[in-house]
Each structure stands twice: as structure tokens, then as C-alpha cells.
Structure 1
Amino acid sequence: MNIRKLTARCRQAALITACATPLAAATASADESDLTIGMSFQELNNEYFVTMQEALESAANSLGADVITTDARHDVAKQVSDVEDMIQQGIDILLLNPADSVGVETAVLAAQEAGVTTIAIDAQANGPVDGFVGSKNYDAGYKACDYLAQQLDGEGQVALLDGIPVVPILQRIEGCTAALDEYDDIEVVDKQNGRQERTHAMTVTENIIQANPDLDGLFSVNDIGALGSLIAINSSGQDIKLVSVDGHPEAVAEIQKPDSPFIATSAQYPRDMVRLGLGLGLAKYWGADTAPAEIPIDVELIDRDKATDFSW
């Protein structure tokens, strides 16, 4: 196992300590028993989660561990069933990316009853999880919408594109709203659910623009939805500035274009997130008493100036 390589992936000095314990334990214990790691994704039709899956498989391979991954396709009933199937296959650690923070509790309880160590990834899950690793989503919403307000010179009409009912989405909306509330002449005229899907977000954005012909800005809770909104904005011919969250390669490419309405995204780090989640899971699995309950990961606002040098 290449400890130096994995440790280097911990971007923040405070997180290196969190990584060190499980990595050292992995080196000492990898030959003692075979590990099976399961990860249930809310979806895999998104490069953000595909990137996470690739990083997990690479890290698990360095441990000599087996990996089982499933795609809930945003269906929490399917996700619960997927987790139950993985438990039957004998997983030791479950990395759970909830399709619904509340509805997935049944799966968390099943994992606990089976003695499986469970770490929630990207979105918190109800129930007795052993740990959580995720981005600072309030900050992501705040940074994107504060930047939007600045680019609008502190005045204008803004709409919000919401998403599925998981904690990160709620936090992004909270952060965005808090930022916009600091500008007396910014008015939030609409908030609708784009479902974080390109086609649906495009249709919703078309309706928002028709209902608000003086719209100046739009915040989307994720980049895939924002890319759908971008189609609607471009078709409208109106000057509407667009900001979002994720750092998706397509979004970053759009932001680089000088005349694009897409002006910024609060970028996450999916590779770091899943590696830290696996590290925390190993620490909990091997009984590390000092392992933290949560590991928050910073986000970075990527505007046109930064987009050229950014990638997951």
C-alpha cells in the first residue's frame, strides 16, 4: 500500500491526522483479513460520482480490498434494497451516499444490526452512522451567491434552482439565501426544484424566465442542473448570470468561455472526499478511538480566472 500517495491526497493539514490512523492500520492489518467495501451511490449518471467511484476503486485496490458499488438512480427504496444485498454479500465497510437523507435510515439500521461500519459520504444520513465526510455545503451556496450578487453590482432579480431533499442541497440553498440577504437590492423572485437533472432543469428554467422577464441571475444547486439552465438562458437571449456548485468538467469548460452566462461554480473535491471517507471507515472498523465523527472538506469558488487551471 502506498501510504505517501494517499496521505498526499489530504489537502488540509487538519485532515492529515484523520487519514494517518486508518492508513497505518491498513498497512498493519491488510494481510490479516480480507476486506470487502460496499458503496451505494445516489446515482452514477454524473461524472462527479463516477470520479468518486474511480478514486474508491483505486484506493481499495491499494489495500487489496474488494469493492461492490451500486447505483440507486435517486430511488431510496432501491438504495435500501441495494444496501441489504451488499450486507448479504458480507461487506465490512459501507460508504453510503444517500438518495434521501431521511428515507435511507432503514439501510443504516440494517447495516448496524449486521455489524457493518457505515460512513455517510457527500450527504448525511439519518440513523446510527459511524461517521460522515462531506463538503462544506453551506459555504458552497454562500460563495456562489455572494459572487453572483457582486457581479450584479448588488441589485437585481435572482431565482434559485433547488434539488432532491438531502442535507447538502438544503445547506446550499441556506448558504445562498444568506449571501443574497446581505444585499438590500437583490430580490429572490422564485425558487423551484430542478431535480439536479439537465433536461428537467432546462424546462423549469424556461418557465422561470417566462414568469420573470426581468430576471438577472440564477443559482443552481448543482452543475448538471445548471448546464440545463444554461440552455434555457441561451435560448432566451436575456442577460442572466448563472452560478452553481460542483466543479463538473463541463461546467468549468463553460465558465472559461468569455461570453458565457455561466460565471462561477463552488467546486468540490470528490476524489479527496471518498478517500477520506474510506480512511475514516477503516479507522472506525479497526476501533480507532480518536477518529473524528465528521470530516468537513473545504470548497473553492471557481470563476473565469481560475477555471483554466482547475480539474477534479
Structure 2
Amino acid sequence: MKRKIAIAAIAASALVLGACASGAGSSGSDSAGGSKTEFVKKDPLVLGYSVYDQTDPYFIAYANGVKARAKEKGVKVVLSDSKDSAQIQVTGSAQLISQNISALLITPVQPDALPATVSAAHAAKIPVLVGDIGTKGDIDYFVQSNNEEGGAQAAEYLGKKFDDGKNHDIAFIRDDPGHPAGEARGKGFKDKLKEYPNLTLVSEIPGQTIEAAYKAGQDIFSANPNVEAIFGFNSNAVQGAVRAAETSKKSPAIVGFNGDPIELQLIEQGKQEATVAQDPFGQGQALVDAALALLDGETPKFTDEASKTLEQPTTLVTKDNLAEFQAKLADQ
């Protein structure tokens, strides 16, 4: 995720563009004003989805879930590709608001830029539903994986693998600071590790991109040549770790997070042992279900109603259940 962005400028442009696009100010106030926004279900019913990046396999699956559920419900979807740019996303979201949509679905490139977009949407009586990454502001719904539990699954896998009473050094290629999902994965992983005193976390280095993760992996092996396992917080971290292991002539147990196609391929090739797989297709479907519920004046399904959040479970995928998992994906 790019973080070298002036969030204040982005937020300001969201307010200006959104207000111009929406025809401005006819809605009730949001929770900051003390009352609930009344959303309008327009005819024809159109949902707008601001996608994080339509070249990323994970978010392609997310968008496919949105489109598939919308098709089931007879609803049109308009997509806006943010191309991993918060500035493009702010502009694209404002354009979606101007297109007479009834709900705005968004996977935020930068959650800090959300509040102004939410305000612009609410001014047009449009609910804002966030899929993954993180939230900020008075959003109406948030769906994500249970990232903390997923991190714990990775630690549990390694704990069982090395359940031999001997000491084992392991490493963690984590996300850059400030990414809510990445931080939750790391917390779950490290908290669960406490149950396995024979596992020692000797290195924790950020590696958000493949190249950064590759360098992190090289640094890990250089400083800690006895590392026997690496947990990578996403598929980029895994790919970097695999490359570093190959060039360093090491063979650690590599556990990833996401379940992207490249990870499944690496498991099949024996270069990766496991991944904590998310369900982006299912999350995309959940976004549409929640949007339609809100537009009908109903309460969407939450696991935590106070934060308007639905957390979905993750699946540990290894070579043992790889074929079964791939068959499930083929049906989506």
C-alpha cells in the first residue's frame, strides 16, 4: 500500500468532488450529527464498487464475488479501478456517487481517506460498505477475514509441525506499520506463539512488496542462519521468502496468508508448506447482501454490531487439502 500521500488533500478533494456530484445536502445527518442517514433505493438499482486494484488476483476474486451476487439479485454493478492509488480512488468514488448509484462498496487503498468519501456519499443518501483492508469514519458496514485468528492458525501449524521438544528459530515477514489487517495477523501469530515455548521468533522484518520481502528474507538468513520457518503476512511476503530461500540455499517451512493462486502453486511445487486462505469471493457477496439489506431498511449480518463488522473465517490450506480447496475455487 502506498503511504506517501497527503491524506488531508485527498480528503478535501473527496468532499469537493462528492458534494458536486451528489447535488448536495438533501440527506439527514450522519451519526456525527446525531441522527441516522436515511438511504434511498433508486430505480434502477445500481451498486458502485471502488476496487483496490483490478490486476491483483485477490481483488479480482473480490470483484467477481460482488458481480456474481449482484447478478443473482438482478442488480447492476459499476466498477471503478483504483489501481492501488488513494488519489485515484477518491476521484473514482466521487464519480460513482455522481452516477445515481444506491450504495457505494469500497476496498480502501488508504482507510484514512475514507471519512470525506463517506460524508459525500451520506450527503447523497448513499450507504458506504467497506470490504477488507480497514476502516475509518462513519461507515455503514465492514466485512473482513478474522485476521487475528488467521495469524493464530499459522502459529498453530508451526507449533504442531515442530512439536518435538527441541528449540526452533522462526521468522516473520510482516506488513509495513499502520496496516490494520497486517497488524491483526501479526498479533494473532505472536500471541499464539506464546503457547509454544520451543519456538523462538528471532526476526521480524517488514516486506510489503515481493522485492522488499526478498531482501527481508536475505537479511533473515544472513543474521539467523538456523531459521527453520518463516511466516509471511501475505502472498508477496511468501514469494519474497521463497526467492530468498532459494538464493540462500535454505529450506525453511514457509507459511503464508491469503491463499492467492501463486501460493497454491507454490504449495503444489513443495516450495511453500501452508497458507491461511481468505475468501474474497465470499466477502464480495457479503458486501452486496449487506447493501441490499441497508437499502431495504434492514440490519445486515454482523459478528460485531457495535463496529458494524462481519468477520469471516479463514482456512488453513496444505498439500493435504489443496485439491479440495482448488475444487471449491473452481466452482466460484
Question: TM-score normalised by the shorter chain: which range applies?
Answer: 0.7 to 0.9
Q: Does 1:189 align with 2:199?
A: no
Give 1:289 shift: 4.1
- Is 1:130 paired with 2:145? no
Q: Verify: 1:111 aligned to 2:111, yes or no.
A: no
- Map of 1:221 onto structure 2: 233
Ranges in structure 2 where 5+ consecutive residues have no aligned partner? 1-40, 303-307
CA distances 1:224-244 after superposition (whole Å, capped 9, x unpaired): 331222111122111311101
User: 1:248 aligns to what?
Assistant: 260
Q: In the alignment, which residue of structure 2 is the partner of 1:34?
A: 44
Q: Distance in 1 between matches of 2:86 and 2:65?
A: 24
Residue 244 of structure 2 is aligned to residue 236 of structure 1:
no
Q: State the Cα RMSD in Å.
A: 2.2
Residues 108 and 126 of structure 1 are in contact (CA less than 8 Å); yes or no, is this contact kept in structure 2? no
> Which moves more between the two structures, 294-303 or 54-63?
54-63
Which residue is equivalent to 2:58? 48
- The separation in 2 between residues aligned to 1:166 and 1:70, in whole angstroms, is 22
Match in the other structure for 2:220: 208
SS at match of 1:182: coil
TM-score, L = length of structure 2: 0.77
CA distance in 2 between partners of 1:175 and 1:139 (Å): 6
Shift of 1:87: 1.4
The answer for the alignment partner of 2:15 in structure 1 is: none
Alpha carbons of structure 1 residues 112 and 309: separation in structure 2 relative to 1, 3 Å: same
TM-score, normalized by length of structure 1? Answer: 0.82
5+ residue gaps in structure 1? 1-29
Letter in 2 for 1:159: A
Q: Matches of residues 165-180 of structure 1 in structure 2 within 5 Å?
A: 165-180=178-193
Distance 1:205 1:169 in 2: 18
Question: Where does residue 3 of structure 2 map in the other structure?
Answer: none
User: Aligned to 1:101, which of 111, 120, 132?
Assistant: 111
- How far apart are the structure 2 equivalents of 1:167 and 1:206? 26
CA distance in 2 between counterparts of 1:306 and 1:268 reads 15
Structure 1 runs (4+) greater than 6 angstroms displaced:
none
Map 1:69-80; keep pairs closer than 5 Å. 69-80=79-90
Alignment partner of 1:302 out of 317, 325, 330: 317
Distance 1:41 1:166, change over 3 A: farther
Distance in 2 separating the partners of 1:43 and 1:36: 21
Percent identical: 24
Aligned to 2:210: 198
